[in-house]
Structure 1
Amino acid sequence: MRLRLPAERPTEPPTGYKIAHPVLSQDGTRAGFTGVSLGGALPYAVLDDASCVYGLRHRPPARRCDCGFHCVHSRAAAEALLCNAEHRAAVLLEVSVLGAYIRFERGFRHARQRVRTATAGPCDCGAAALVLADAGWGRPGWRALAPACAGCARGRTSVSLTGFARLAGQGLRVVAAGGGTGPAHPGLPAADGLGVPELVAEAALLQARLDWLQSQLARLGERGTGGGEQG
């Protein structure tokens, strides 16, 4: 006789925590996330269904498979994963566990999830992140992003925290650790819904791009002058 665990029927979706890399589509019109371990080759949206990474035709989370979304119960446990060198550029996600799930001692394996909040850590230089910039790697059709300040993001493909939240949709909130929030205020039109922190971040990103453009123009001007003297 096999003992079965009691079925849970929560009144509200359980909350879990995980880390992931933010990604931006090649054409810059969509945003999502990709995992740091199993299933990392399959970027997912803010609201998405899991699929079996082994290509099997069962519904995740199957008991005899590792498929499904994974998360832990404790925010502190997820933050601890960010200490790993290969995970330093990842962001911390707070998710709603939806659909069927299997509860484990440390977390869940589940069929569906909604990412509610993404928290970006500091830039490599130690400054608070204002943007998510090209991390130098990606997946087919997707460019991986990493938290960055406006200065370090200069010259790289980047999107503000607010812009990433808008592209991802589904009410996602993107915040900087210890900094301002990313989404537009729900009571204001999308075009005018930016608050002071968001406008400051957008202005800093624009200034960084202008500074980079001016430096490139100055460099081209110096080359042109040198070429004239030699001729």
Structure 2
Amino acid sequence: MRLRLPEERPTEPPTGYKIAHPVLSHDGTRAGFTGVSLGGALPYGVVADASCVYGLRHQAPHRRCDCGFHCVHDRSTAESLLCTAEHRAAVLLEVSVIGRYLRFERGFRYARQRIRVATVGPCTCGTVASALADAGWGRPGWRALAPSCAGCLRGRTSVSLASFARLAGEGLRVVAGSGAAGCGVAVADVVADGLGVPELAAEAALLQARLDWFQSQLARLGERGKGGEG
């Protein structure tokens, strides 16, 4: 006799939490995310469908495979994953679980998702992040990003939180967190369809940081010129 799992028919999509690395396309026109474990080589957008990473032709999620998107039920469980060294630069995602899913004790494995909120942790210096900057690694066609404050950009390729939200589209909200990585305390709420005073202030801080960096480089070149060096 074959046992069947109980079926659920929720009136609204269940909510789950996961972590991922934000990514920016090589031409700077698209933004998305890439996972931290299984399927991490395949960046996805705000609204995305899962497929079997092993190339099998069954629909994800399959009972006898571990394919599909993964998330946990509890926000604090997802936040605790940000404490590991390899995940410190990841962001916390709040997702809507859409379509077919398998429920487990700690989370879901499911076919389709919509990312509603992305919470960005602090810069490595401990300051609240105002941008996402080049993390020094990536995937083919995609540049991985990490939280950064205006003072730590140092000329790296970067986008403000507002710009990332606009590039990702689909109504994504990007929230800057404060304190230790993964604390999830919201201090700025950036909505893709509009800019307020906090967002404009963050944009201005980014421009000022880049201007300061260029001025420091020009000053160094000027000092070399006065000394007669090449």
Question: What TM bracket, shorter-length normalisation?
Answer: over 0.9
- Say whether 1:8 aligns with 2:8: yes
- Say whether 1:212 aligns with 2:220: no
Task: Report Cα offsets for 1:92-137 as digits up to 9, x if no partner.
Answer: 0000001111111100000000000000011100000100011110
Give the alignment's TM-score, normalised by structure 2. 0.94
1:31 deviation in Å? 0.1
**CA–CA distance in structure 2, aligned partners of residues 43 and 26 of structure 1:** 13
Matched residue of 1:179: which SS?
Answer: strand
Gaps of 5+ in 2: 178-185
Q: Which residue of 1 aligns with 2:181?
A: none
Give the alignment's TM-score, normalised by structure 1. 0.93
Q: Which residue of 2 aligns with 1:183?
A: 191
Task: Report Cα offsets for 1:112-163 as digits up to 9, x if no partner.
Answer: 0000000001110000010001111000000000111000112111100010
Which portions of structure 1, spanning 4 or more consecutive aligned residues, are displaced by more than 3 angstroms? none
**CA–CA distance in structure 2, aligned partners of residues 124 and 28 of structure 1:** 23
Q: Which residue of 2 aligns with 1:72?
A: 72
Task: Report Cα offsets for 1:156-200 as digits up to 9, x if no partner.
Answer: 11100010000000000000013211224x5xxxxxx31011011
AA of the residue aligned to 2:219: A
AA of the residue aligned to 2:216: S
AA of the residue aligned to 1:219: R
1:33 deviation in Å? 0.2
**CA–CA distance in structure 2, aligned partners of residues 179 and 94 of structure 1:** 17
**CA–CA distance in structure 1, aligned partners of residues 153 and 142 of structure 2:** 18
**CA–CA distance in structure 1, aligned partners of residues 157 and 189 of structure 2:** 21
**CA–CA distance in structure 1, aligned partners of residues 228 and 97 of structure 2:** 63
Q: Which residue of 1 aligns with 2:168?
A: 168
1:5 deviation in Å? 1.6
AA of the residue aligned to 2:196: G
Kindly tell me the number of residue pairs found equivalent between the two proteins: 222
Q: Which residue of 2 aligns with 1:190?
A: none
**CA–CA distance in structure 2, aligned partners of residues 31 and 23 of structure 1:** 6
Q: Which residue of 2 aligns with 1:194?
A: 195
1:227 deviation in Å? 2.4
Matched residue of 2:188: which SS?
Answer: coil
**CA–CA distance in structure 2, aligned partners of residues 209 and 183 of structure 1:** 24
1:223 deviation in Å? 2.0
AA of the residue aligned to 2:223: E
What is the CA RMSD across the aligned residues, in angstroms?
A: 1.2
Q: Which has the higher strand share?
A: 2
Question: Percent sequence identity over matched residues?
Answer: 81
Matched residue of 1:182: which SS?
Answer: strand
AA of the residue aligned to 1:201: A
AA of the residue aligned to 1:123: C
Q: Which residue of 1 aligns with 2:98?
A: 98
**CA–CA distance in structure 1, aligned partners of residues 12 and 195 of structure 2:** 31
Q: Which residue of 1 aligns with 2:159?
A: 159
Question: 1:34-73 alignment to 2 at 5 Å?
Answer: 34-73=34-73
**CA–CA distance in structure 2, aligned partners of residues 66 and 152 of structure 1:** 39
**CA–CA distance in structure 2, aligned partners of residues 195 and 161 of structure 1:** 12
